[in-house]
Amino acid sequence: MESTAQRYSALITAKLSEPLNSKKTTREYHSIDIQHVEAINARSMGAETLVLHAAQQLQLDEKLTALGFNKRDVAAALGSIIGRAVSPGSELYTHDWLQNQTGLGELLSHDYGDTSLTRLYAASDKLLKHRAPGCS
């Protein structure tokens, strides 16, 4: 229950921290002590952005949809593929990485906190079913 509350708190915080669309912008300057900066729920996004860009250039999401993947399964499959490319490990490790270490969910507008390990396994199985001949 605690982890669910923290996840929803992070989602609300992210939503409320989005900039307002306003034509009038004012600049505020603040001093920051870089020796004492704390991050709440910090996540990596660099390598994820690069691999996602490559997947988008390959139109991987469209190809997965054409194979019968629904929106949640496409996100699970992309999470699995990108996760293995960025931080290789087992499906269990990839699931934990998606939920706790990466900002990939924000890049895909998908909440990996709601993605079960079973869904990740099912998406991987579906990917294997549709892999190209000769690929292992």
Q: How far apart are CA 55 and CA 77, in angstroms?
A: 11
Closest CA to 102 of 39, 38, 40, 48: 48
110 vs 10, 26, 54, 92, CA distance in Å? 14, 32, 18, 19
In this prediction, residue 12 carries a pLDDT of 77
Q: Contact at 8 Å (CB) between 69 and 122?
A: no
In this prediction, residue 89 carries a pLDDT of 93
Closest CA to 49 of 105, 91, 96: 105
Q: Contact at 8 Å (CB) between 103 and 69?
A: no
> Per-residue confidence of the chain (136 residues) as pLDDT tens digits?
777 777 877 777 777 666 666 556 677 888 888 888 787 788 999 999 999 999 999 999 999 999 999 999 999 999 999 999 999 999 999 999 999 999 999 999 999 999 999 999 999 899 888 876 766 6
Query: Model's pTM, two decimal places?
Result: 0.71
What does the domain layout of the chain look like in residue ranges?
43-130
